[in-house]
Each structure stands twice: as structure tokens, then as C-alpha cells.
Amino acid sequence: MTGTLITVAPTGAEVDKAAVPALPASLAELVAAAKECQAVGASIVHVHIRDDDARPTLDLGRLRDTVAALRDATDLVVQLSTGGAVTDPEDARLAVLEAGPEMASCTMGTVNFGEDVFLNRWEFIVELHTRMQDRGVVPEYEIFDLGQLSTLERLLDRHGLPAGGHVHLDLVMGVPGGMPGTVAALAACTAALRNLPDGTTFSATGIGRATLPVLLASLAAGGHLRVGMEDTVTYAKGRPVESNAQLVARAAAFARLAQREPMTPAQTRALLGIPA
Ligand code: KMH
Ligand code: ZN
């Protein structure tokens, strides 16, 4: 059994900075959070950025500055979100790749997202996947529901393996409108992995109160972990999350208990086929 790849998703597009002041929103806050998270066991940072008013943005100049600042200050694999916010148009989401990340997210289908819809048409998915192949950007395939694993299988069959040659996906569990954050749902997903290329790896994240059950289930199933304030802002009942590092430290402690040490950024790059 390998170590544990821990991704931190520190910001997201949905949490309101005014309601959650600990959320890293400015570039300085994001870089500081990323450094702290690397120190306690993260190896990938999944990045959404905010504007000066802490609203989500896909501004390309800001994205380029963010990639550069995170590379300067950390060894983390920088994974830009191409999901953005539910209101972001497809062309702006595709343009994220122009910021030159090593890695980017790529969602495998449309899903109801609370009161909203997170739209991911087949043609858009194909465009994102093939642009990533052309630019050498390694995808993390985001899976919000079981059927999206079949979409991933179809994508790889028709359009080939991603840059780096390794398939890595993230099960996002517990979004209202997607699959629940349960052991049964995770087991159904892991059973479906047999239809994907040999060596496919997965991480899992549970939204809100699904955080801990999904974390434990993923470790038990040989999976990796994603945690962060994009996905939960409550550490325990009645106890707000103090920092992203607090969530990463807890994930790393569980990984060690499972005798699967957190992977370093170098080990993560080697696993995913990202050049050192
Ligand atoms: N903010 C969600 C609408 C991703 O980053 O690729 C989409 C999301 C997925 O967070
Ligand atoms: Zn995201």
C-alpha cells in the first residue's frame, strides 16, 4: 500500500468570507495557508481565487500571479480549479489553463448543486480534456455522482489518456444534488473503478458533515484524501474550522494511524506523472 496523497482545497467559490473570516481569500492569505498546509502533510493545493472584495473570480492575470506565488513559496502541486463558481461561463473556465498550472480539475458531468446547477456538457468536458492533453496539464477528474465514472470511462476510450498517462480522480461526496457521503456510495464508486485503466487512483472528500465518514472510508478503501475549507467550515459540532492546516493535520494524523504516511510533493508528482 502506498502513502496518502493529501490535497487541500483552502478556499472554493461558495463560502462567504464575511461569514467565515478564517477563509483565505487574498493572495497573501492563500500563500500563507498553502505553506502551513504543506508543513503538516498536504502535497496538492486545489485553487480557487477571489477578487479584492473576496468574490470568486477567474481573472487570468490573478490566476497567473497566484500560480507564480504558490510556486515561489511552496513545493505543492498547484491544481487550478476549472470548475470555478456555478455562474462562470465555459470560455473563462477553459482559459484557466492559460495560467500554466501543473494540474487542473476537470468535472465529469452536470450536477444539481444546492439551489444551483453546476453545468458540464459533454462537448465542454472533451474540450477541457483535450486542451489539457495539448498543454501537458495533468487533470484531476472530479466525480460528483456514480454515473460520472462512466462518463470518464467514455472520455478516456474516445480521447485517450491524460497528460502524464496516469488517471487520478476525486470523489466529491455529499453535495446536495450529488452522491451522498456514505460508505455505500464510496464502495459503489470503488467497484466501478475496475472499468478504468489499471493503476487509476482516487481521493475523496466529504462536504460538510460528510467530511469524517468519507475520510475514514477512503483510507479504508485504499484511497487518498482531500480536505479544506472549500468543503467544510465546521471542525466538530459547534466548533468552526480555525484554519486549513487544522484540517490537513487531522487528515495526516488519520493517514498515519492507517500506516499510510502523507506523501511528499515529489512522491505525488511521481505518482501522477508530473515532471519534477
Ligand atoms: N465550485 C463548484 C461549482 C472544481 O473546482 O473543479 C465547482 C468546483 C469543482 O469546485
Ligand atoms: Zn473546487
The overall pTM is greater than 0.75: yes
Q: Per residue in 60-100, pLDDT tens? A: 999 999 999 999 999 999 999 999 999 999 999 999 999 99
Residues of the chain with pLDDT under 70: 1
Phi, psi of 209 (to 5 degrees): -75, -5
Q: CA distances (Å), 24 to each of 55, 101, 243, in order? A: 12, 20, 9
Q: Which of 44, 57, 142 to mutate to test the pocket of ligand 1 (most atoms within 8 A of CB)?
A: 142
| pLDDT, position 1 | 56
Q: Which of 86, 105, 116, 173 to mutate to test the pocket of ligand 1 (most atoms within 8 A of CB)?
A: 105
C-alpha cell belonging to residue 22: 478564517
3-state secondary structure of 262: strand
Q: How far is the CA of 57 from the centre of ligand 1 (A)?
A: 12
C-alpha cell belonging to residue 170: 476525486
Q: Per residue in 97-118, pLDDT tens? A: 999 999 999 999 999 999 999 9
Q: Which atom of ligand 1 is nearest to the CA of 81?
A: 5
Which residue, judged by its Cα, is nearest atom 1 of ligand 1? 85
3-state secondary structure of 178: strand
Pairing of strands 49-50, 56-57: antiparallel
Q: Which residues pair with 19 in a beta bridge?
A: none
Burial bucket for residue 126 (CB in 10 Å: 0-12, 13-18, 19+): middle
Which residue, judged by its Cα, is nearest atom 9 of ligand 1? 83
